[in-house]
Amino acid sequence: MDVLSHRIKKVAESVLENEALISGLDESAAEVLQGWGIKHATQAAEETHALDEDSAEKAMYPRLKASRRLLRSIRVWVEHEKESTAEERDKLWAKIEKRAQGLYGDKVSLPSPSHFAGDRPVGFIKNLRGWLEDESKEGEEKKSFFSSLFGK
For 27-84, how does the pLDDT look when each residue is reduced to its tens digit (9 = 90+)?
Answer: 999 999 999 999 999 999 999 999 999 999 999 999 999 999 999 999 999 999 999 9
What confidence tier does 86 reach under pLDDT thresholds 50, 70, 90?
very high
For the entire predicted model, the pTM comes to: 0.86
Helices 121-150 and 86-104, packing angle to 10 deg = 40
